[in-house]
Homo-oligomer: A and B are copies of this chain.
Amino acid sequence: MLPESLQHLIDQFKRLPGIGGKSAQRLAFHILRTPREEAERLCDAIRQVKDRVTYCTICSNITDVDPCPICADESRDRRSICVVEEPQNVNVVEKTGGFRGTYHVLMGAISPLAGVGPDDLKIKGLLARIGAGGVEEIILATNPTVEGEATAIYLARLLKPLGVRVTRIAMGIPVGSDLEYADDLTMTRALEGRREL
């Protein structure tokens, strides 16, 4: 028999992804013990994300300012666009430090099962960018999943006739892992993608 307000907070935490009953209870009790200012900081941070984060009108990435810092950065190479499914994927590529082009976020992947078709993705904006000229290469960095592959194949067919080079990121054995743990499909892709040394 927990206090009603605490039970309500546990229920709210349970709605978050990856938070089960036990975690929700631990979080709620943490909020209970935490100083009020600390709890307020969390609420303010949540509210600010809802207030400030918007989508870049050029690449559809999430941003506090429009256009986003990457699209606004004059030093980025506008000849190549890396296409990803979700905003968080941009960060994964950026962290490598090896890509100086720009991005385009699709906001999903084609998934007939989930009822997501090409029209639900930010493909129109990508076509407009290519149409405006100056784009030489589209790097398809959608996930190596059924949906990501389907999206990559769809985009390749759509974009190649426009005269741009369309490439797909490599699939293969992750660096630092062991062949022993590679599944058949990954191993197949690793063989297919082999390069001359």
Contacts and interface: CB of A to CB of B under 8 A. Distances in A.
A69 interface: yes
Nearest to A88: B29
Interface string A3-31: 11110110111011111000101111111
Interface in A7-65: 8-9, 11-13, 15-19, 23, 25-32, 36, 38-43, 45-53, 62-64
A13 B41 CA distance: 10
A93 to B, nearest CB: 11
B52 A3 contact: yes
Give the number of times this chain occurs in the complex, counting copies.
2
A192 interface: no
> How would you classify the secondary structure of chain A's contact residues: helix, strand, loop or mixed?
helix
A5 B64 contact: yes
Contact of A50 (B11, B19, B29, B39): B39
A197 to B, nearest CB: 35
Contacts of A94: 1
A15 B94 CA distance: 25
Nearest to A35: B50
A132 interface: no
Contacts of A23: 18
A63 B3 contact: yes
Nearest to A8: B45
B49 A1 contact: no
Given A12-B42, A27-B17, A43-B43, A91 B2 contact: yes
18 contacts: A3-B53, A3-B62, A3-B63, A3-B64, A5-B51, A5-B53, A6-B49, A6-B53, A9-B49, A15-B42, A16-B30, A18-B23, A18-B26, A31-B49, A31-B50, A32-B50, A36-B50, A43-B43
Q: Which 7 A-B pairs have the closest CB atoms?
A: A3-B64, A43-B43, A9-B45, A12-B45, A5-B48, A5-B52, A12-B42
